[in-house]
Chains A and B, each alone.
Chain A
Amino acid sequence: MPATFTINVNGQNRTVTVNNPAMPLLWVLRDLLNLTGTKYGCGQNGCGACTVIANNQAIRSCITEIQSVAGQNIITIEGLSPTASHPAQLAWVTFQVPQCGYCQSGQLMSVAASILAGNHGANIAAQVHNICICGTYSRIQQAISTL
């Protein structure tokens, strides 16, 4: 049954109509709102490529139904900083973290959520469990150590 929801994405209220209120936020963002920086990796809460921030918490958007985040404030990689100058983004460039880059939106959003919760350095790293197949973990750790 079609249903309409309003969510605040990167500071803007967005209203979407879905055929199925169980549609995960990931696909609302990617297919309905054309915000493709949030990635699909596994669809099972396993890899973290789809991580976004909802009401200041890191969530896996691939298993988060749109109906469960109605009215919430969502931040995606596109909204992390208007000038790509979030401290984590700057550190990622400084330490030349990405290789293929596909996981990095999710890595950065996990880090950003941890920073929002007041964490620094190793305490951030302990909360980041996103998969990186390219093996950029060492550089992620180096970048996080400066945050």
Chain B
Amino acid sequence: MRKSKEASKKEWEEAQHVSRRNFLAIAGSGLTLAFFCPEVTQVAEAAMGGIAGPPAKTQVNTWLNIGSSGQITLTIGSSEMGQGSFSGLAQILAEDLMVEYSTIQTVQGVPATGAPQVGNSIPTYGSTIIRNNYWSMRQAGAAGREMLVQAAMNIVGDQTRANYTVSNGVITYTPTGETISYGLVASAAALLPVPSNPPLIPDSQFRLIGTTVNRVDIPSKVNGSAVFGLDIRLPNMVYAIIQHCPTFGGSLNGVPATPAGMIAVVPTQVVAGTNRGTETTGLVNAVAVVGPNTWDTWQAALNLTINWTIPASSSTLNDQNFINEATAALTSAPAYSPSGPNTAPTLYTVEGNLAATNTAIAGAAKHPTATYTLPYVPHNALEPLSCTVNYVPGVSCDVYVSTQVASSVQALVNQITGLPLSQINVHTTFLGGALGRRIEVDFVSQAIQVAMAVGRPVMLLWPREQNFLRDQFRPLALIQVSAGLDSGGDILGWNYTGVSPSLFTQRGFPVGPTGDSQATEGSSGLPYNFQNRVTQWISHPSPIPIGFWRSVGMSMNTFAVESMIDELAALAGIDPYDYRLNLLTDPRWINVLQTVAALANYSAGPAPGHAFGMAITTYANSIVAEIVDVSLNSGNDYDGQPALFNVNNVWIALDCYLSVNPGQIQAQLTGGMVHGLNAALYGRQSFVNGVPQYPNFYQNRVIRMDEMPQVAVALIPNPQQSNQSVAIGGVGELGVMCLAPALANAYYRISNNRIRTLPFFPNATMGGLNNPHI
């Protein structure tokens, strides 16, 4: 879930530019440290409490405030979508600030440019929030602590630092036992220079980092008080229900009359920057019915007769046609040309040497080829998309939305309304799941258009069906892998070619000679000992809108890579665990593989009637491996489909260098695994003449509690965790990508049936709306 390199580079440069000189002033607020995250090695300048300064630029997104009564507030612009990032950042901060974790209040930052500034957003995707901000938080805590201690030293009159200790926000002057609280010296500390290199707590003295602490958001999530996007209520607010054209590429033909009891019917168009594939800028592809409450408005929208103009090209938007196009592209796509235009399909060489690899494969004793097929997969976040907008023309625009990128929302409001950024407030709510879908702002653009049309605060809701039908899907893919094995099972050549639509191209980002990184991640740079290798990617021309889906290309390519490794092990007659070890020299990979095998008691073998399957990969500086235990099930599932197997256990091992909150990482890995399992078993959207077919959970089944496998997680400490030049590893997406191949590999071991096309159960349903299982 990442932006283009260009976009990320621009953000980074902006960060570097301002973080070294920016300081902010808020009168009477104690000690405030304002800084930009992520900032790996630098703590930015301190805000000078009580001293007015010139209005600074906006590129501060994180505020630490120690109030004069001792209260500690961390205001940060990341989004809380279930991953516990607020809690993790507070936990890290508390370590070096030397306060109790529970004393830190976390506050959602709001992108703004007016004074007082309360921070820009931190884009929340790519498993980045803890790993990118770890050192920033630690240095902020250490800098704040040393400034407070310096202020205390000034009061006591003894400048010998060794005569002072700190515990839980209280400074003790050890020669006399005199104590000074942080709050008492906070305002004085704000007048001191920020230390450039404050000492960090040695890892051996960690009190908090590495321990499981409770999350700050959980109490509000068990009593109904947590506010998600859909829970916003504003005075005078009206409700809008979106209805898109059922066919991708279609457009509105005439605005329907406003139904009785409704307030308006507002056509909405695709706004520049939110255009994707068939949904071109300016296309009026939806109407919003505006009314007094959700239900009445929804019924009016469903009963509305809307005329759409369907382009002839929609007849090509069919599943089989997509596969045919991919298959044809494997043999006919022209190679990338530096002079362009490289319209899809175009063949990109990601790495390696095609001729040498093919020669090696041709000369090998065995040269199998396998083709793996993955469908379009919808996001299935449980909270439907919504956005609430209060627009006062020429004055202000307040947007309340569960978004992964509040700054994108702010920029979009500016683009549509022309209001300066300083008059646009984006209030990020809790996210009821995101999974990458809330990186996009298409639904936000619609809400703004409706608010501008009706002149009242409006909440725009996408009913569940619109979420599944009008998703920006995980791209489909067809991946062909050929390999050459010698008689001992060594891999003489590995030829990997993936065909999939380009996320970058749909967003107007340039794609260079090595292709779209979002499509190729997980397929290149593999540490296996392939004696010759080539990795290629072919852009697929399908215009179905696609998006970032928790783990993005990793989940697609890991399925093909780790399935093929298993196929080669089977062909060589070598246990797949031993086979991988034979191919690996990277100590982290080997350690992770050995750890997951020990966790699963792999050497003892599966229980009678069971089978193991495994997979391993790397992402976000972490290494992850999973082993799945399955057993055959000859009965029917509750939806009437053959059950085929039960998924009994999943064992997960992770090396992310440093486990800030082990319990939370265990939860994240388990949740990621379930996301991968749902997709492997059931995840797909299907298209008939441009019309997506599966509108609700009834047809987009997910596992329920009685289908949950037993899960065990092992987290591997890494001594490199103390090295500031090594970014710690990510977690949020790491559970996802190994599940599908591990499951397919296990199923092969017990059934002799190799699953190369996902999902396992394309015809699964919830089995009837009155099913007692529900």
Using CB atoms, name the residue of chain A closest to B221. A101
Which of B83, B381, B432, B711 has most chain A Cβ within 10 Å? B432
Q: Which of B60-68, B104-112, B201-209, B668-676 lies at the binding interface?
A: B668-676
Contacts of A99 in B (CB 8 A): 82-84, 667-668, 671
B697 pairs with A102, CB closer than 8 A? no
Of residues 652 through 671 on chain B, the ones whose CB sits less than 8 Å from some CB of chain A are 663-664, 667-668, 670-671
Which of B221, B231, B675 has most chain A Cβ within 10 Å? B221
Of the residues A47, A77, A96, A128, contact of B705 by C-beta under 8 Å:
A128
Interface string of B181-223 (1 = CB under 8 A from A): 0000000000000000000000000000000001101111111
The answer to the question of B359 belonging to the interface, with a C-beta cut-off of 8 Å to chain A, is no
Interface string of B109-136 (1 = CB under 8 A from A): 0000000000000000000000000000
CA distance A77 to B381 in the complex (A): 21
> Which secondary structure characterizes the binding site on chain B?
loop
The answer to the question of B368 belonging to the interface, with a C-beta cut-off of 8 Å to chain A, is no
The answer to the question of A44 belonging to the interface, with a C-beta cut-off of 8 Å to chain B, is yes
Contacts of A31 in B (CB 8 A): 239, 293-295
Given A24-B295, A37-B224, A80-B223: A93 touches B214 (CB 8 Å cut-off):
yes
A41 pairs with B464, CB closer than 8 A? yes
Given A80-B223, A89-B223, A129-B773: A138 touches B711 (CB 8 Å cut-off):
yes
CA distance A105 to B383 in the complex (A): 13
Least CB distance, A74 to chain B, in whole angstroms = 13
Of residues 97 through 147 on chain A, the ones whose CB sits less than 8 Å from some CB of chain B are 97-105, 108, 125-126, 128-141
The answer to the question of B335 belonging to the interface, with a C-beta cut-off of 8 Å to chain A, is no
A96 pairs with B294, CB closer than 8 A? no
CA distance A32 to B261 in the complex (A): 16
Least CB distance, A22 to chain B, in whole angstroms = 8
Which of B222, B239, B704, B708 has most chain A Cβ within 10 Å? B222
Contacts of A27 in B (CB 8 A): 293-295
The answer to the question of A12 belonging to the interface, with a C-beta cut-off of 8 Å to chain B, is no
Least CB distance, A30 to chain B, in whole angstroms = 7
B696 pairs with A42, CB closer than 8 A? yes
Interface string of B546-573 (1 = CB under 8 A from A): 0000000000000000000000000000
Contacts of B576 in A (CB 8 A): none
Contacts of A15 in B (CB 8 A): none
A77 pairs with B224, CB closer than 8 A? yes
Contacts of A141 in B (CB 8 A): 705, 708
Least CB distance, A35 to chain B, in whole angstroms = 8
CA distance A128 to B231 in the complex (A): 25
Contacts of B435 in A (CB 8 A): 133
The answer to the question of A43 belonging to the interface, with a C-beta cut-off of 8 Å to chain B, is yes
Count chain B residues whose beta carbon lies closer than 8 angstroms to a beta carbon of A.
69
Using CB atoms, name the residue of chain B closest to A94. B214
B296 pairs with A96, CB closer than 8 A? no
A100 pairs with B295, CB closer than 8 A? no
B671 pairs with A43, CB closer than 8 A? no
The answer to the question of B230 belonging to the interface, with a C-beta cut-off of 8 Å to chain A, is yes
Which of A40, A89, A98, A100 has most chain B Cβ within 10 Å? A100
B296 pairs with A137, CB closer than 8 A? no
A49 pairs with B82, CB closer than 8 A? no
A93 pairs with B432, CB closer than 8 A? no
A46 pairs with B224, CB closer than 8 A? no
CA distance A65 to B615 in the complex (A): 48
Contacts of A104 in B (CB 8 A): 221-222
A96 pairs with B702, CB closer than 8 A? no
Of the residues A41, A46, A49, A98, contact of B222 by C-beta under 8 Å:
A98
CA distance A45 to B670 in the complex (A): 26
Given A43-B464, A131-B697, A138-B711: A92 touches B675 (CB 8 Å cut-off):
no
The answer to the question of B769 belonging to the interface, with a C-beta cut-off of 8 Å to chain A, is yes
Of the residues A32, A42, A89, A100, contact of B81 by C-beta under 8 Å:
A100
Interface string of A69-84 (1 = CB under 8 A from B): 0000000111011001
Using CB atoms, name the residue of chain B closest to A26. B295
Given A40-B230, A93-B214: A78 touches B223 (CB 8 Å cut-off):
yes
CA distance A140 to B82 in the complex (A): 15
A36 pairs with B696, CB closer than 8 A? no
Which of B224, B239, B261, B433 has most chain A Cβ within 10 Å? B224
Least CB distance, B381 to chain A, in whole angstroms = 6
24 residue pairs of the A-B complex, CB under 8 angstroms, read A19-B261, A24-B295, A37-B223, A40-B384, A41-B383, A41-B464, A44-B769, A45-B769, A46-B769, A46-B774, A78-B224, A80-B223, A96-B215, A97-B218, A99-B83, A100-B432, A101-B218, A101-B228, A129-B704, A134-B82, A135-B674, A135-B708, A138-B708, A140-B705
Chain A residues engaging chain B, CB cutoff 8 angstroms? 19-20, 23-24, 27, 30-32, 34-49, 76-78, 80-81, 84, 89, 92-93, 96-105, 108, 125-126, 128-141
Which 8 pairs, one residue from A and one from B, show the smallest C-beta to C-beta distance?
Answer: A37-B224, A135-B674, A102-B432, A100-B82, A101-B221, A99-B82, A77-B224, A137-B708
Q: Identify 8 new A-B residue pairs, CB closer than 8 A, beyond the known A36-B224, A102-B383.
A: A46-B698, A104-B222, A129-B704, A129-B774, A134-B82, A135-B672, A136-B671, A138-B710
